[in-house]
Structure 1
Amino acid sequence: MCTRAGAVTCNDQCGTGPAPKLIPPVNRQVRGWANDFDHGRSRPAFRAMNWFLQQRMVGHLKRRSQRPDRPPKGVTWYAHLYKQLGLVQL
Structure 2
Amino acid sequence: MTPKKKARQAIKAKIRDIIRHGGSTPAVKLIAKLNAAVAGWVNYFRVGNASRAFSEVRDYLEMKVRTLLTRRKRRQKRSVGRRRWSNEYLYGVLGLYWDWKTRPLSGAEEFRVKVAVARQDP
Structure-2-length-normalised TM-score: 0.59
Quick one: which of 68, 79, 82 aligns to 2:88?
79
Structure having greater relative contact order (Cα 8 Å, sep ≥ 6): 1
In structure 1, the residue matched to 2:59 is 51
> Residue type matched to 2:96 in 1?
L
Percent identity for Structure 1 against Structure 2: 30
Q: CA deviation at 1:18?
A: 1.9
> Superposition RMSD on alpha carbons, in Å?
2.0
In structure 1, the residue matched to 2:14 is 4
Tell me how many residue pairs correspond in the alignment.
81
1:18 is aligned to 2:33: no
Structure-1-length-normalised TM-score: 0.78
Does the 8 Å CA contact 2:35/2:97 hold for their aligned counterparts?
Answer: yes
Q: Which has the larger radius of gyration?
A: 2
Task: List gaps (5 residues or longer) in structure 1.
Answer: none
Q: Which whole-Å deviations, capped at 9, do the CAs of 1:8-27 have from their partners, x for residues lacking one?
A: 123x64x4222111111100
Q: Which runs of 4+ in 1 moved over 2 A?
A: none
Q: Return closer, same or farther for 1:75/1:58 CA change in 2, 3 Å cut-off.
A: closer
Quick one: which of 64, 67, 71 aligns to 1:63?
71
